[in-house]
Amino acid sequence: MARTQQPLMNLHGNYYLNCLGLIVAMIFWCSSCSKTMQTTIPRVTTDPVSEIAQTTATSGGNVTSGGGLTVTARGVCWSITPGPTTAANKTVDSSGTGTFTSHLAGLMPNTIYYVRAYATNSAGTAYGAEMTFTTLPGGGGTVTDIDGNLYHTISIGTQVWMVENLKVTRFNKGDSIPEVTDDNEWNTLKKGAYCNYDKDPANATTYGRLYNWYVVGDTRNVCPSGWHVPTDTEWQILIDHLGGAIIAGGKLKATGILEMGSGLWHSPNTGATNESGFSAVPGGFRNLNGSFTNISSNACYWSSTADQTKAWEREMSYKYGNVDRYAENKENGYSIRCLKDQ
């Protein structure tokens, strides 16, 4: 039987169709590869830590690849436990690829820290290798009040300060300081008393207690032995050491934002670096009429300097990076930070 021959045009047509299909498949495969490449996270390395001090250090990194996408944030993150992430303390050092330098602040003295660089694009966040370092020792370590509350201490210039607000309920001689919750009684007091913000003892753990100025002026001393409530002049020495009232507040305030779950201060917590290690927290205050206000917004600290009716206090706000100085009614309830005797 004679074999039926395929028309030459059909053979050529099938060949061309097969080639066209192969070309389309290759284009689709290349397009898929390109899209896959565009969704990779960046690559970043971590610089060794240098310029280590009591509360500050320097690191950085190098974003060697953006992963085919724009690097929107880069910096370093750190914590006192391994594997720090951007959910903890971090710097934000511009964007894009290449090298960058990061300045860590608000560290605790004599503490081991873990740090690593990070870089973020729309595909995710990449981390560099983890480094460890230990900050230099601070100014004496810790001190304990008569109630057994433990406070860390920090050297700032020629002074040594407590790092936490005072919580004590007794004078250093052992005499009790009255806790006054009644608003009318608080208003008429002419002797020492303390309270907890919103009359809630749980607030004392985080913010310390609030005291009227009559506690400060009592000769029985509310601070531990060898410590005292600073004078207005001693407050000024601290502020001058940190560059003056306009910028010192930021160097004194603890970092982090309440709304972001990273701190105690309301947003924007302007200027906060805690470069000094003082770690001021916004404990608010109690008015002379007994009402409470401004927790998470203001940190208010008594000095021991006063006249017949008013006493000087220093104040920091979430809105500003400065330190304010006011003469206030002695019946107000403010926080206390103790200063080591010299």
Question: 221, 198 in Cβ contact below 8 A?
Answer: no
| CA 17, 22, 25, 30 torsion-angle sign | negative
| Per-residue pLDDT at 236 exceeds 80 | yes
In whole numbers, what is the pLDDT of the chain averaged over residues? 88
Distance CA(306)–CA(308), nearest Å, equals 7
Comparing 1-10, 216-225, 311-320, which segment has the lowest mean pLDDT?
Answer: 1-10
pLDDT digits (tens, 9 = 90+) for 93-116: 999 999 999 999 888 777 888 999
Domains and CATH numbers, the chain: 43-134 (2.60.40.10), 142-340 (no CATH)
Q: What tens digit of pLDDT does each residue of 237-292 get? A: 999 999 999 999 999 998 888 887 778 999 999 999 888 889 899 999 999 999 99
Q: What confidence category does residue 11 fall into, taking pLDDT thresholds of 50, 70 and 90?
A: very low
Token match 């710097």: residue?
91
The whole-number average pLDDT for the span 2-14 is 48
- Residue 75 CB coordination number (10 Å): 24
pLDDT at 34: 45
Q: What is the DSSP string of 117-174?
A: EEEEETTEEEE---EEEEPPP-SSSEEE-TT--EEEEEEETTEEEESS----SB-TTS
**Minimal CA–CA distance to 338: which of 98, 135, 108, 164?**
164
- pLDDT 10s digits, 110-144: 788 899 999 999 999 999 999 988 887 665 578 99
Contact call for residues 27 and 9 (beta carbons, < 8 A): no
Q: Is the pLDDT of residue 41 over 90?
A: yes
3 state SS of 77: strand
pTM for the whole structure: 0.67
The residues that bridge with 192 in the sheet, in sequence order, are none
